[in-house]
């Protein structure tokens, strides 16, 4: 599990390194471009109960406030899970680590075979 997390993290770092840095509303070439309009989403069923524009804006503001906090917590949880998994794997003997790698590889091949079978 830790290997897949590390691979994802490495891929993310690689992609971020390839994306030129730009401020919102401005491209990497320095030209000022309008911000794309982001479509906001209400919680399920809220769009069908007659909300006023003021209520919608209040809901969007609350979502922004809590989503930022939730994102930070999710990142912290992922970090803790990686630390936990590394320590758990650290309790294994070398032979157990090898067997674990083999089992993970077998599982990966089985997933790929199932995926390929679905595509046929």
pLDDT in tens, the chain (120 residues): 555 555 655 555 554 555 454 444 555 555 665 656 677 899 999 999 999 999 999 999 999 999 999 999 999 999 999 999 999 999 999 999 999 999 999 999 999 999 999 998
Interacting residues of 21 by C-beta distance below 8 A, sequence separation 6+: 28
Cα–Cα separations (whole angstroms), residue 23 to 16, 27, 39, 63, 118: 14, 7, 20, 23, 43
Give the chain's radius of gyration (CA, Å).
22
* Tokens, residue 112: 């790929």
pTM of this structure: 0.53
């Amino acid at each position: 599990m830790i290997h897949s997390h590390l691979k994802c993290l490495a891929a993310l770092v690689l992609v971020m390194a390839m994306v030129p840095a730009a401020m919102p509303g401005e491209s990497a070439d320095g030209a000022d471009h309008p911000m794309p309009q982001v479509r906001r989403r209400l919680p399920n069923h809220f769009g069908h109960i007659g909300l006023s524009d003021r209520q919608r804006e209040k809901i969007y503001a609350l979502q922004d406030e809590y989503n930022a906090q939730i994102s930070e917590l999710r990142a912290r949880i992922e970090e803790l899970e990686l630390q936990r998994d590394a320590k758990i794997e650290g309790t294994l003997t070398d032979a157990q680590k090898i067997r674990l790698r083999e089992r993970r590889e077998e599982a990966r091949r089985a997933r790929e075979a199932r995926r390929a079978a679905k595509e046929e």
